[in-house]
Amino acid sequence: MRVILTDQVFPTVSLERDEFSRHGHEFLVASNESEALTLIEDADAILTTYMPLPAKVIGTMKKARIIARYGIGVDNIDVRAAAAKGIAVTNVPDYCVEEVATHAVAMALAMVRGLPSADAAVRQGEWGVNTVRPLRRLSSLTVGLLGVGRIGGAVARTLATLGPKLIAHDPYAAELPPGVLPVSLEEVFKNSDLLLLHAPLTEATKGLVNASRIDSMKDGAYIVNVARGPLIVLEDLLAALRSGKLRGAGIDTFPQEPLPDVSILEDVPGLLLSPHTAFYSEEALVESQRKAIAQVVKVLHGQSPDYLIAP
């Protein structure tokens, strides 16, 4: 059978070549989106990372049995269109839990302890606590979690060891980690000194963090987003930082990547940025590849995949 990789983002695809060859499958890597659109028409399986696969594209697939995404989110795939054609859609929801949780906690602690300002002060020859004042003890703060899945749960368990009050809103969570108080969406915004976003991107969550909700937050609060960029209306967040409504924001994902105009970030106080790297470690990349490959092999051999999104 024929397996197509729509967009190659890994240092090597030797894992894919070896595994599919071992099972007697042909494996082709598209050199660009145009070639990918042609190749997937007769593909039995599609591996993808970022390439958009809307209903129109899925409609051209004549033989596909599975679309396997290397990452967690599947917002680049029209899942309903795939399900309507009986095409399995899979992801790898557990490959970078440790990495993203660590990144979120690192961003949160760096802001709460004023590390970006402290670093800049020393480089400018400034000294003393006035360079970071005011800082508050973490255990005196309320930390809110918007979404408590694998990653949000790991963040909650880590931060719990440092003593803050933990609250969370997640309408889909069967249970929350010990010590985490469930609250409404309005309450998680209103009561959080530090708000961490771990929600998926859906029509309901797009633009969830906007000017109105930021206005409902405490003055001087912090926001961390290592989930999906469009959860935040970026212009509203930057305005809140400039006005001092928010004291800080740690952002790893953006509505458009790369940012079309980085000048919008100039002279914005309290920003701690990373270029969508929260998911990354060498181990995480290999785990993502191995698990995505496994979903394809299982479906092509008539077995049930481990991470079925639809149908």
CA 88, CA 95: separation in Å to the nearest integer?
19
Q: Strand, helix or coil at 247?
A: strand
Residues whose CB falls within 8 Å of the CB of residue 99, separated by 6 or more in sequence, listed in order: 278, 279, 280, 281, 284
Contact 197, 217 (CB under 8 A): no
Catalytic residue among 26, 33, 257, 283: 257
Q: What are phi and psi for residue 237, nearest 5 degrees? A: -65, -45
Name the E strands within 62-118: 66-69, 88-90
Pairing of strands 66-69, 246-251: unpaired
CB atoms within 10 A of CB 235: 12
Sheet strands (E) in the chain: 2-5, 26-29, 45-48, 66-69, 88-90, 142-146, 165-169, 180-182, 194-197, 221-225, 246-251, 271-273, 308-310
Q: Within 13 Å, how many C-alpha atoms sit on residue 125's CB side?
A: 0
Of the candidates 276, 283, 290, 301, the residue annotated as catalytic is: 276
Distance CA 81, CA 188 (A): 34
Q: Is residue 103 among the annotated active site residues? A: no
Active site residue 257: yes
Q: Tally the C-alpha atoms within 13 A of residue 52's C-alpha that lie toward its C-beta.
A: 3
Query: CA–CA separation, 189 vs 279, rounded Å?
Result: 25
Q: Which residue is catalytic, options 2, 65, 103, 228?
A: 228
Q: Is 175 a catalytic residue?
A: no
d(CA 285, CA 289): 6
Give the Cα separation of 99 and 106 in Å (integer): 10
Residues known to be catalytic: 228, 257, 276
